[in-house]
Amino acid sequence: MKIEFYKYHGTGNDFVIIDNYHVEVAPLTTQKIKLICDRHFGIGADGLMLLSKKEGYDFEMIYYNADGNESTMCGNGGRCLVKFAHHQGIHKSMYRFFAIDGEHQAEIDSDGTVRLKMQDVQEVDYHTHHAIINTGSPHFVKFTDNAEEVDVAATGADIRYSKSFAEEGINVNFVETINEDTIFVRTYERGVENETLSCGTGVTAAAVLSAHNQSGFNKVDVKTPGGRLSVEFDKLDDNHFKNIWLCGPAEFVFKGEMNIN
């Protein structure tokens, strides 16, 4: 089977995208998706997305992790899929699309930046040294004095596979406060089972927990190993955040064809 694909990245978080909107593609098995995402034997990516049709929406986002399994929301992936939809002729001033966690809105600024509206946060589980929060995907967030020195792959795996999280997995974020409105985030992603250069839902989780205004509007700039993002949101209290927008670049890299047996 030959497939046409497109490669995109959002601050180094990279994806293979297949257009299932204009031409319906044959179903891909878990093993085939895993092969496509393999950096040695396939194209190589942190995940794979299908741009698909959905009644009542501009399109549907279907996302798979690099392990081949369908996964929860991916913020950087969502931003890349919006840019891809525009590239494929779906032009809207404000996009409405459906993902595994429900409806999202998005817009493309004049400079190419994609702004993606995330789901409201309704609860944060605070612990002494970390917090657990769901921003479309579940995240373990730990603040540290020097994120650069953290062995993210090893420490992240220890937490992700610990007794509390082993069954469903969790994404693990290490966050360093740079100044009042800037943080540095490194993320271990489940499904990739390694550190990624950037994680949109992880950046969102870290940002809302770094609010500098204790109520009302906040904007937090976020440095990741793959580049810079920003998160805008309204803080209602320590457990409730709404009007959350993840903002940053989404870049086309190349297109091609791959034979999959």
User: Which amino acids are annotated catalytic?
Assistant: 74, 199
Q: What are phi and psi of 190, to 5 degrees?
A: -65, 150
Q: Which long-range contacts (CB under 8 A, 24 or more apart) does 92-99 make?
A: 92/58, 95/58, 95/59, 96/57, 96/58, 97/54, 97/57, 97/58, 97/59, 97/60, 97/61, 98/54, 98/57, 98/59, 98/60, 98/61, 99/60, 99/61, 99/63, 99/73, 99/136
Contact 15, 7 (CB under 8 A): yes
Rounded Cα distance, 39 and 196, in Å: 13
Rg for the chain (alpha carbons), in Å?
Answer: 18
Distances in Å between the Cα of 93 and the Cα atoms of 57, 66, 75, 108 are: 14, 31, 19, 8
CA angle 210/213/215 to nearest 5° reads: 110
Residue 186: which residues within 8 A CB-CB, separation 6 or more? 147, 150, 152, 173, 174, 195, 224, 225
